[in-house]
Amino acid sequence: MKTALKVKLPVLIVFCLITLTSSAQFDVSKIELGADVATFIYQGDLTPSKLGSFKTMKLGFGIHGSYKLSKILFLKTSFVFGGLKGDESRYSTPEYRQKRNLKFKSPVTEISESIVWNILPPASEGGPKLTPYISAGVGYAFLHINRDYGNFDTAYFPNESIIAAGLRADTAHSLPKGILVFPVTAGLRYAFAKNLSLNLATTYRLSSTDYLDGFSQAANPAKKDNFFTNSIGLIYSFGKSNMIKCPEVKF
């Protein structure tokens, strides 16, 4: 009996993972699954560009699942894995950046929930092959920030300077292990097969901290740090199908 239980339980869990009871139903036709490759671009105090630090972008990937609320509205759950990096030594102007010479890097693991609005119904719902969409949501990003100020030029920034005082304040400040993020996405999907679409997207994340890069008072404490991703991937739509019922398992 115990052997039969061990064999049948995993099968039951696989078929009923998203259901709450043995009589629940799972509508496959409402589900989409996707995977992406992405570039992570840091936007904060350690880069002079308002568009972000493209010189230090990192690669990552993501997986996501969506549930169709209607032909144009989806509820999307995303898991994203990647990294962020900033390095002032990569910028020759203005001069003070190479003298301040602050750096950081951090892995990023993010989970988020978003509402997706397809401006036109996707091909899986009878719409055109090319469909623009936007989305907005909330998420949490787990971090492990490694800040580096070992090459800070104390001759250029003497101990009594505002920057040096700010650096002392920053190094005494604890770094966040995770932050609340608000992802906003603009994307395009192109259906090149019945149930398969190419997905292109840019996701900008507003963050809740100015210590994403490990520094604030020594840089620009008036503005929070953010980051964004550019991604390309595939979306699989299960399409029209029958309901899958969780099987009754007898022990």
Q: Residue 128: give the domain boundaries.
A: 28-245
Q: What is the mean pLDDT of residues 90-113?
A: 94
Q: Is residue 11 part of a domain?
A: no
Q: Is residue 129 part of a domain?
A: yes
Q: Is residue 2 part of a domain?
A: no
Looking at the predicted structure, is the pLDDT value of residue 14 above 70? no
Looking at the predicted structure, is the pLDDT value of residue 209 above 80? yes
Number of domains in the chain: 1
Q: Is residue 77 part of a domain?
A: yes
Q: Is residue 23 part of a domain?
A: no
* Cα–Cα distance for residue pair 249/70, rounded to 1 Å: 33
Q: What is the mean pLDDT of residues 29-53?
A: 93
Q: Is residue 9 part of a domain?
A: no
| Residues ≥6 apart with Cβ < 8 Å to 205 | 139, 141, 181, 182, 183, 184, 226, 227, 228, 229
The predicted-structure confidence for 131-178, as pLDDT tens digits, reads as follows: 999 999 999 999 999 999 999 999 999 998 999 999 999 999 999 999
- Cis status, amide bond into 176, omega within 30 of 0: no
Question: What does the pLDDT read at residue 78?
Answer: 98
Question: What does the pLDDT read at residue 9?
Answer: 43
Please report which confidence band the pLDDT of residue 240 belongs to, taking 50, 70 and 90 as the band edges.
low
Question: What does the pLDDT read at residue 28?
Answer: 77
pTM of the model: 0.82
Q: Is residue 165 part of a domain?
A: yes
Q: What is the mean pLDDT of the chain?
A: 87
* Cα–Cα distance for residue pair 194/182, rounded to 1 Å: 32
The predicted-structure confidence for 114-131, as pLDDT tens digits, reads as follows: 999 999 988 878 889 999
Phi, psi dihedral angles at 102 (to 5 degrees): -90, 145
CATH number at residue 114: 2.40.160.20
User: Which helix H or strand E contains 167, and what residues bound it?
Assistant: helix 162-171
Q: Is residue 58 part of a domain?
A: yes
- Which percentage of the chain shows pLDDT scores above 90? 71
